[in-house]
Structure 1
Amino acid sequence: MTVFNDAVPAVANLGPHLLAALRRAATDAAGDGIEFYVNSGWRSAAYQERLFRRAVSEYGSEAAAARWVATADTSLHVAGEAADIGHSDATSWLSDHGARYGLCQIYRNEPWHYELRTDAVHRGCPRMYADPTHDPRMRR
């Protein structure tokens, strides 16, 4: 689904500032022949919990799963403050231009995961965490 698809809750329920930044960036990227897709945006707490439980089964422990999937209590997707962007040409474009819109990759192990950092417009994106287990926001 594109960032302009308001009929899909994963897009429509994103935070308004994040969604506006994604749409500004997508409009500009289209001029370079790049189309943004939201592979995963807003998620319900129940869905996030299912994703986490599935990751625990796959990786063998909650600690290992936490490198890839947040709990429903800590997920920025549940809060509508994170979007996983696809395809690789879009994430590459965002790596080069995202700070201009306040859109930053947060985790080195997740090149598709973007969040809004409004101060990045003037200061650039902050250093990335290796993975979510290094992010203090994930420790609740």
Structure 2
Amino acid sequence: MRSTAPAVALLALAVVLAGCGAEESALGPGIRPVLSPIDQGEVPDGTTVYDTDVPAVARLDGDLRAALTAASDRAADEDVILLVNSGWRSPELQERLLRDAVTTYGSREEAARWVATPETSAHVSGDAVDVGPFDGAYWLDLHGAEFGLCRIYVNEPWHFELRPEARSAGCPQQYLDPTEDPRLAG
């Protein structure tokens, strides 16, 4: 006769987890799915704005994605490829990137020059995209304002955000790095 103890233990664990304030999910109360790196916002090599099956692209703000698509079409006409190196990110991925940056740069203050918190990151909200390769980022830096796409930080030549007013007024002055960006204070 088989013991029911393992099944009872799993049920008890599920009940405890459900009572710990975990988010609701399609799997049931308190059970959160384990997301793959791609589902958290990591980007496979060679991803473009046309790869809308990739969550990092699909979960970008619609207006940002439309502007990036128009820019990519024009860049392709000039034999320049725009790759999406990063787009939307889950809060969990952003937190991991921040922890990695603290390890790399030695302090949270220095890491803040490169990686925002999940609460302030324009990637988490789907409002930022990092492009490559170098030629693509350079092309977008030169022509992005025509599409409302602006480079935001001097130290991040790959990071672009939508600024619709740039189509007529040009891109705003760049911040030296994210620590100068008042949107990230907090």
TM tier relative to shorter chain: over 0.9
C-alpha distance in 2 between matches for 1:73 and 1:50? 13
User: What is the CA–CA distance in structure 1 between the aligned matches of 2:122 and 2:92, rounded to whole Å?
Assistant: 14
Task: Name the % identity.
Answer: 55
Moved more, 8-17 or 90-99: 90-99
Instruction: Find the aligned partners of 2:178 and 2:103 in 1 and give their Cα distance.
Output: 18
TM-score (norm 2): 0.75
Q: After TM superposition, which residue ranges in structure 1, 4 or more long, deviate above 6 angstroms?
A: none
Q: Distance between the aligned counterparts of 1:64 and 1:89, measured in 2?
A: 28
- Say what the alpha-carbon RMSD is for the aligned residues: 0.5
Give the CA deviation at 1:58. 1.0
* Correspondence for 2:86: 40
SS of residue in 2 equivalent to 1:114: strand
Determine the structure 1 residue equivalent to 2:102.
56
5+ long unaligned stretches in structure 2: 1-46
Which amino acid is the alignment partner of residue 71 of structure 1? T
Distance of 2:107 and 2:161 partners within structure 1: 26
Distance across 2 between alignment mates of 1:127 and 1:137:
15
Q: Give the TM-score, by structure 1 length.
A: 0.99
Deviations 1:76-128 (A, max 9, x none): 00000000000111111111110000000000000000000000000000000
For 1:104, what is the secondary structure of its paired residue?
strand
Give the partner amino acid of 2:80.
I
SS at match of 1:49: helix
Structure with max Cα Rg: 2
- What's 1:133 paired with? 179
The amino acid that maps onto 1:53 is R
